[in-house]
Amino acid sequence: MSEPQTGSTATFERVADIIAETADIPREKITPESHAIDDLGIDSLAFLDIAFAVDKAFGIKLPLERWTQEVNEGKVPAEEYFVLKNLCARIDALVAEKAAKA
């Protein structure tokens, strides 16, 4: 079994590549601490492009509707989903959840 941190780093590299390519953002600007909206300026349309690429790359379905609802209702701060290290941790969790069901 790999340590969670290792998985997250690999996930971050993959997600950062996807964001760089999809949203045309220089790869070096993208760090684990980057906020997708506040720091990288990704708008909602571009974020859906990224979500599609992430869904395909990892074989998952990011629950964007639930996340959006939770943020809008003030239950979860947006940073929990839009700061990349947090987004990657959630991607890892979804991948693990899918593997457990398989």
Compute the least distance from the CB of residue 2 to another protein, in Å: 27
Q: Is 98 in the site for another protein (CB under 8 A)?
A: no
Q: Is 39 in the site for another protein (CB under 8 A)?
A: no
Residues 6+ apart with CB under 8 A from 22: 46, 49, 50, 53
Tell me which amino acid residue 8 is.
Answer: S
Compute the least distance from the CB of residue 44 to another protein, in Å: 8
Question: Residue 100 is encoded by which pair of tokens?
Answer: 């457990």
Q: In a 3-state reduction of DSSP, which class is residue 65?
A: helix
Q: Which residues bind another protein (CB under 8 A)?
A: 45, 48-49, 51-52, 55-56, 61-66, 68
